[in-house]
Structure 1
Amino acid sequence: MKIGLITIHNVTNYGAILQAYATIQALSKYGDVTVINYQKNHLSHHMDLFRFKKSIRGIKMLGHDVLNFSSRSKMLSKFNKFIKQNMVLSEKVKREELLNKIDMGFDLYICGSDQIWNPEIVSSKNILDPIFFLSFAPKGSKKISYASSIGHHQFTNSEKPKVKEWLEDFNKISIREADGRQKLLEILPDKKVQQVLDPTLLFSKEEWLQKLNIPVKQPKEKYILVYSVPRTELIRKAILFFSKKLNYKVYSIDKGLIPMQKVDNQINKAGPKDYIELFANASFVITDSFHGLCFSINFEKPFAAISSKKVGNRQENLLELMKIDDRLMRNEKDFYKLNTNLENVEGQRNILRGLRENSLNYLESSIIS
């Protein structure tokens, strides 16, 4: 079977790259998987050595990349190497080519995971992209969504008819968050919409290390791993609090020029494999990232999930699913209540195992039915 996957695959976001990799791995059991190499500048420009847009923010970004040239070039090299080694890409295709219904010869078209249905993520103008709804697939093609995400976006009255049109002929629809499922059911009341796990959670820690050939080794020292993109004030306070409480060194996966306060080791050249290894060897994690949370849970690490507030539904949903929503830190007072050790490890393992089995079974039934 020839499987065509559309996802977010050409960015320097660790979660995006690793979810794409995990989706490919899960699908490869059923056939040859090709990532449709959709060239959307809003996303792919993140892979440019020097990023620039005609705006104040764009000028600042360019200045950052120039000053950070050495680290950024090494980081990009690792991302490009990872993609080349682990993904089969189609020829580069643009939006116009896809919308003209070019026949790519796939037996199955699949979209997901990540926030492909959130216009704030995939478009500079906050516009839904029909490509991520497989609108380009030839009529009568088998179409599946696996763990697609709407994020925190609320579909407008003008968007809802488009979403309905694009999804009506899907054979199977699954989504990552419970609230996203409800949003789709309101638009498509006659459709079955399944909630499933993010693909990064479909494989255990041992499987991740084995697949990427990462050796299991004892770290030189215990460390707190910090993974945060926006560097919020609450993240900074969490670093100060937990580094003092645990007395561990602080490592940070951070592409910025200057490390945050109290960070002992800023890792700004990390590639996807480095990211996995750093999570695997951490003694405690502080993160406000959804995928940072996924790997903390999957790798059985004690962690503090720092609330992303208005855009935190993805975090909250996963924590509720795992029955550990007490690990969500909404303010400084929550720091004092958090148990910095793992609790009920076997119970958590069983919950994740059950969710993983259900998701894998759903994926298989969607493909072979």
Structure 2
Amino acid sequence: MQKLKTATVTWITYNNCGTFLQAYALQHVVKSFGYENKILDDAPHLIDARPIYRKVLSRLKRIFVSGTRMKEVRSCYTSFREEWLETDKDTGDLKKVSDRYDLFLCGSDQIWSPIIKPVNPYFFLYFTDKKKVAYAPSLGSTKASDEWKSCVKPLLQRFSNISVREQQGASLLSVLLGRDIQAVVDPTLLLSAEEWKPLCSDRIMPVGRKYLFCYMLSFNARYIERARKYSHRHGLEFVLMGLHREYEGLSDNVLWGGPSEFLSAVCHADAIITDSFHATVFSILFRKPFFTFQRFKANAWNNQNSRIENLLDRLSIKGRFVKDDNIDDVPPIDYSKVFPLLDKERERSLQYLSSSLKN
């Protein structure tokens, strides 16, 4: 019997560890169910609403300022994409894309975020009348404008099955669409630590050298210094992921790499401090002591804290989300209590995805 051909829309152009790893995870699971799957190249369909002068400055900075370190990082992402992701690069003509596949999925990450303007209909599968399933796209925010709602409502009404990553997003869309919307776990949580280990690069530190891994999406000097002091107090070397040029020289051990290097750093770390949703996810999967610092102020217009708070609340470890610098009095994590909750959420989410693809 011929396998059903499925295609996924999600971000795979932006170089972000979590972005690439969630794309891999969903594809891995869909294929394990017995379907063919390709991730559609989103590059031809991205909307850059920045003023022209900002686009030019960004391009010039990338060419002349980024330096060899960031080129090294881009090379790591290219290697990961070629080795671990099955993509369809011929996506310029979306009518032909629609004809090639039997079913389409919206993958995870913040492809449905109300904060991102304008709304990009590509990530709502406007171009096809084939069956459409959404697995864990994230709104990222607890609020959405009336303009966003009126724009996405007719697009979402064409989906046969919709789930999102956060409960707040599920509630918002349930009211908007007048139907039940499920909250499911991020695709990365559908896989176990053992399933992630083959994707790890070689160890970033020799065996026996204990370290704290610091992964900060936003450059925050205070948070980085807090992490450094914690590592020194606990006798750990300080390893900082090089996500920005400004990180050069902030540690004797700055890690420049992509998703595989990130996974290896988490897998072998003795503690982790981050402000990232996906670094939080992998800290949990690999059963690490971790702290997640608040990245956005509670009243900020672009507040995306709900995705982390929702995850930690589901697993009854809300205390790991640090809203100030105090991490000295936080009790250790009892993973024997966390994983039964995670296993239950994982099984429920896998059942949703499996039944959505079948029905």
Q: Does the TM-score normalized on the shorter chain lie above 0.5?
A: yes
CA RMSD of aligned residues (A): 2.5
Tell me whether 1:199 sits opposite 2:187 in the alignment. Answer: yes
Q: What is aligned with 1:48?
A: none
Partners of 1:39 and 1:92 within 8 A in 2: no
Tell me whether 1:17 sits opposite 2:20 in the alignment. Answer: yes
Q: What is aligned with 2:79?
A: 81
Paired residues for 1:343-354 under 5 Å: 343-354=333-344
Please point out which of 146, 150, 154 is paired with 1:161.
Answer: 150
State how far apart, in whole Å, the 2-side matches of 1:251 and 1:117 are: 33
Structure 2-normalised TM-score? 0.88
Partners of 1:7 and 1:113 within 8 A in 2: yes
Partners of 2:218 and 2:295 within 8 A in 1: no
State how far apart, in whole Å, the 2-side matches of 1:237 and 1:358 are: 40
State how far apart, in whole Å, the 1-side matches of 2:44 and 2:103 are: 22
Q: What is aligned with 2:299?
A: none
Q: What is aligned with 1:338?
A: 330
Partners of 1:53 and 1:59 within 8 A in 2: no
Distance 1:287-1:293 versus aligned 2 partners, 3 A rule: same
Letter in 2 for 1:330: K
Letter in 2 for 1:134: L
Distance 1:90-1:262 versus aligned 2 partners, 3 A rule: closer
Q: Deviations over 1:45-83 (max 9, x none)?
A: xxxxxxx98446863674365344322222222211211
Letter in 2 for 1:350: P
State how far apart, in whole Å, the 2-side matches of 1:233 and 1:356 are: 36
Q: What is aligned with 1:357?
A: 347
CA displacement at 1:349 relative to structure 2: 1.5
State how far apart, in whole Å, the 1-side matches of 2:200 and 2:265 are: 14
Please point out which of 234, 240, 243 is paired with 1:246.
Answer: 234
**Ranges in structure 2 where 5+ consecutive residues have no aligned partner:** 297-302
**Ranges in structure 1 where 5+ consecutive residues have no aligned partner:** 45-51
- Percent identical among aligned pairs is 28
Partners of 1:101 and 1:136 within 8 A in 2: no
Partners of 2:44 and 2:91 within 8 A in 1: no
Paired residues for 1:92-111 under 5 Å: 92-94=90-92, 97-98=93-94, 103-111=98-106
Q: What is aligned with 1:185?
A: 174
Secondary structure of the residue aligned to 1:34 is strand
Please point out which of 276, 284, 287 is paired with 1:289.
Answer: 276
Secondary structure of the residue aligned to 1:136 is coil
Distance 1:60-1:106 versus aligned 2 partners, 3 A rule: closer
Aligned length: 347
Tell me whether 1:306 sits opposite 2:299 in the alignment. Answer: no
CA displacement at 1:132 relative to structure 2: 0.7
Tell me whether 1:127 sits opposite 2:115 in the alignment. Answer: no
CA displacement at 1:119 relative to structure 2: 4.8
Q: What is aligned with 2:300?
A: none
Q: What is aligned with 1:327?
A: 320
Distance 1:25-1:60 versus aligned 2 partners, 3 A rule: closer
The more displaced of 15-24 and 57-66 is 57-66
CA displacement at 1:318 relative to structure 2: 0.8
Structure 1-normalised TM-score? 0.86
Letter in 1 for 2:119: L
State how far apart, in whole Å, the 2-side matches of 1:306 and 1:348 are: 20
Tell me whether 1:7 sits opposite 2:10 in the alignment. Answer: yes
Letter in 2 for 1:27: V
Letter in 2 for 1:227: Y
Please point out which of 48, 59, 63 is paired with 2:61.
Answer: 63
Q: What is aligned with 1:112?
A: 107
